[in-house]
Chain A
Amino acid sequence: MATDNKVSQGTGIDEPSNHERHTTNLLDRIKNKHRSTMNSQHNNILVPEEVKKLKKLYNIIIVIVLLAFILATIQTNFNPVIIFAKGGNFIDFVVNDLTPPNFKGVLGLGDALLQTIAMSMISTFFGGIIAFCLCFFASYQTAPHPSTVKIVRGFASMQRNIPNTIWLFIFRMTFGIGTTIGMVALLFNTTGRLTRMFAEVVDEVGKESMEALDSVGAGYLKKLFQCVIPASIPGFVSWLLYSAEINIRAAGVVGALGGGGIGLILSSYLSVFRYKTAFGIILIMAATTILVSLVTDYLRKKVLV
């Protein structure tokens, strides 16, 4: 689109055509205003744009949380001064109980860490595969019938909007604790989120290129595999990596609540007040998370050229 604008404003052969082009451009610009911001076909800046949007969202959330906190403080007569008055306790706790972190003597720490990583990666992977199969039914551009869009999107929203922790509670009541339920809880959430996100990526595939494949006489499946999927790959990969990052974080929490892995070990040390060891585990979890986001950032740059 950008080139169109440049070119057509620079040419002036005859009056009606020039004028016409100007108006079509206006039309195009308005039509594509939304699309051009994250069209995976025309540019690959989908990731930064998405990240920017998310950052904005987080900023808004922070403001809302702060406001809610202030309101709640007033409502509950909570006195922030207490924090300062008893701040000594906190410092005392940090200096004496929490530090130095202890990394020794934790049985099965390596295995647990691997379990947590596996839990998050497997749920991301299979969530991605399921979402890949479902997303084409959830986008009006590719849905075989409009009704499938509502059904699949509804299903995905349900999975996504029920948090990991709730899924975990549901499964824990039925199956008891363990990495399996942790993984399934993560998988449910991931599938829901990725189906929605993938469907949006498919929505953004240029109608133009799909029309071109119509015009050569390509049927539905050929169109899907020769146009929609190639055009969507960067978007899919980017959301998949984002999901891996979220899941490695969530796996800790889900684990602590009974989903197994390093989270469960952490909660057991916390429950017997062995804070130095707990702190060591927390540091390991943090390091893992940072490492995973470094890797996903790297992959994102490598893959999405």
Chain B
Amino acid sequence: MTNTNSLLEITNLKKYYGLTKAVDDVSFNIENEEIVTIIGRSGAGKSTIMRCINRLVMNNGGSIKVDGIEIGNDISKKQLLEARCKIGFIFQHFNLVYRLTVFQNVMHGVLGRISTFDGIIGRYPEDDKEKAYEILKSIGLEDQIYKRAGELSGGQKQRVAIARALMQEPKLLLCDEPIASLDPITSRTIMDLIVDQAKQRGIACLINLHQVEFAKEYSTRIIGMREGKLVFDDTPINLTNDKINEIYGSTDDIDELNPEYELAAVSGGAVAVGY
């Protein structure tokens, strides 16, 4: 674990929201070409870790290194933008600009690399445009290029988001519940797409998932989180039922019919962690 050449190095990461320890002293590394999934209950801190990595959220302690660059409090604005360029991010809710076309959304992937003026007027290098077209073709969206992103189905939207992330030519791809808003069949297509593309392009992936079966099937390594702590970090084969119970807690921890559970979930998910 002390390999200094790791693509991503997370050491003693801490993130608190008031009294909530969203991420509590978590350390792990990710090497090139690894496909790692994080599983854990709602509120375990999975999204928070991801957001700390590209600093959409600032951590309270510990260190994060991506490709040798320390993403910490004293990173300059320019360095941060450059680092983010190297990190693709796929969101649960696709996060596209729905008024713009599929193509325009995909081209957003290169915004980090072009000049501010070009970015403002949306002028992109020709070879990037060709590349965008290639990517759209390879993920089966070449017929939708000039459609507005808002007019697509959920699965198509997520494919556009994947194309946007691929345009970044990232070294690391973070996927925060990429299939949680999709039906089971589309989910499988999207997972296949993410993993295939990542393998083809030599991109390492860190994926938050709720489906343990998918995690076992697709990843080279699984990380289990519980109440902000890392409780499992091993290959899928070693994720036994006992371990799964340890990560998720036994099912009678929560009373599904208890209305308070829902209320708490609405007000921030504290009970879902199992307080």
Whether B168 is near chain A, meaning CB under 8 Å from some CB there, is: yes
B113 vs chain A, min Cβ distance (A) = 8
Residues from chain B with a CB closer than 8 A to the CB of A226 are: 97, 100, 104, 108, 111, 119-120, 122
**CB-CB under 8 A for A20 and B272, given A10-B183, A14-B212, A215-B56:** yes
User: Nearest 4 CB-CB pairs, A to B?
Assistant: A217-B112, A17-B210, A222-B119, A217-B84
B42 and A216 contacting across the interface, CB-CB below 8 Å = no
* Binary B-proximity of A1-44 (CB < 8 A = 1, otherwise 0): 00110011011011111011101101100100000000011100
Give the complex CA separation of A3 and B150 in angstroms: 12
Chain A binding site: helix, strand, loop or mixed by DSSP? Answer: helix
Residues on A with C-beta less than 8 A from B248 are 16
Q: Let me know if B95 and A209 touch, CB within 8 A.
A: yes
The residues of B that contact A224 with a CB separation of less than 8 Å are 120
Encode A277-300 as 1/0 by CB contact (under 8 A) with B: 000000000000000000000000
Interface size on B, residues (CB 8 A): 60
Q: Which of A83-91, A147-155, A229-237, A259-267 contacts B (4 or more CB under 8 A)?
A: A229-237
Q: Which residues of B contact A (CB under 8 A)?
A: 41-42, 54, 56, 77, 80-85, 87-89, 91, 93-100, 104, 108-113, 116, 119-122, 150, 153-154, 161, 164-165, 168, 180-184, 210-213, 248, 251, 254, 256, 262, 265-266, 269, 272
**Cβ of A78 under 8 Å from chain B:** no
Tell which of B104, B120, B254, B265 touches A222, judged by Cβ atoms closer than 8 Å.
B120
Q: Is A49 part of the contact surface with B, judged by Cβ < 8 Å?
A: no
B97 touches A218 (CB 8 A): no
Query: Does the CB pair A222–B111 fall under 8 Å?
Result: yes
Which of A4, A20, A230 is the most central at the interface, judged by chain B CB atoms within 10 Å of its CB? A20
Given contacts A216-B108, A216-B164, A217-B81, contact A230 B213 (CB under 8 A): no
CB of A213 within 8 Å of the partner chain: yes
Q: What residues on A are CB-neighbors of B153 within 8 Å? A: 3
Identify which of A3, A23, A209, A215 contacts B154 (C-beta below 8 A): A3
Please state if B122 and A216 are interface contacts (CB–CB under 8 Å).
no
Question: Is A227 interfacial (CB-CB < 8 Å)?
Answer: yes
Is A219 in the interface zone, CB < 8 Å from B?
Answer: yes
A224 vs chain B, min Cβ distance (A): 8
* Residue pair B116, A221 in contact (C-beta under 8 Å): yes
Are A4 and B111 in contact (CB-based, < 8 A)? no
Docked complex Cα distance between A89 and B235 (Å): 96
Question: Are A215 and B97 interface neighbours, CB within 8 A?
Answer: no
Given contacts A13-B211, A23-B265, A215-B54, whether A230 and B111 have CB atoms under 8 Å apart is no
Minimum distance in angstroms from B195 CB to a CB of chain A: 18
Which residues of the other chain, A, contact B87 by a CB distance below 8 angstroms? Answer: 215
Q: State how many angstroms separate the Cβ of B240 from the closest Cβ of chain A.
A: 16
Q: Which of B85, B97, B183 contacts A227 (CB 8 A)?
A: B97
Contacts A23-B42, A23-B272 given; indicate if A217 touches B95 (C-beta within 8 A): no
CB distance from A22 to the nearest CB of B (A): 9
A residues at B contact (CB < 8 Å): 3-4, 7-8, 10-11, 13-17, 19-21, 23-24, 26-27, 30, 40-42, 206, 208-209, 211-219, 221-222, 224-227, 230-231, 233-234
Complex interface: chain A residues within 8 A of B56 (CB): 211, 214-215
Give A276 to B96 CA distance when docked, in angstroms.
Answer: 60
Contact in complex: B210, A213 (CB < 8 Å): no
CB distance from A131 to the nearest CB of B (A): 20
Apart from the given pairs A16-B41, A214-B84, A225-B122, 10 other A-B contacts in the complex at a CB distance below 8 Å: A4-B93, A8-B180, A206-B98, A209-B95, A212-B96, A212-B108, A215-B56, A219-B116, A224-B120, A226-B104
A234 touches B108 (CB 8 A): no
Q: Which residues of A contact B182 (CB under 8 A)?
A: 7
Q: Please, how many angstroms separate the alpha-carbon atoms of A224 and B122 in the complex?
A: 12
Our pick among A4, A13, A20, A216 for the contact of B85 (Cβ within 8 Å) is A216
Contacts of B96 in A (CB 8 A): 209, 212
Roughly how many angstroms separate A268 CA and B150 CA in the complex, as a whole number?
Answer: 54
Give the chain B neighbours of A225 by CB distance below 8 A.
119-122
Q: Which residues does chain A contribute within 8 Å of B150, judged by CB atoms?
A: 41-42
Find out whether the CB atom of B269 lies under 8 angstroms from the CB atom of A27. Answer: yes
Contact status B183-A11, CB under 8 Å: yes
Q: Which residues of B lie under 8 Å from residue A214 when comparing CB positions?
A: 54, 56, 84
Instruction: Kindly list chain A residues whose C-beta atoms are within 8 Å of the C-beta of B113.
Output: 217
Decide: B111 and A213 in contact? CB cutoff 8 A. Answer: yes
Does the CB pair A208–B93 fall under 8 Å?
Answer: yes
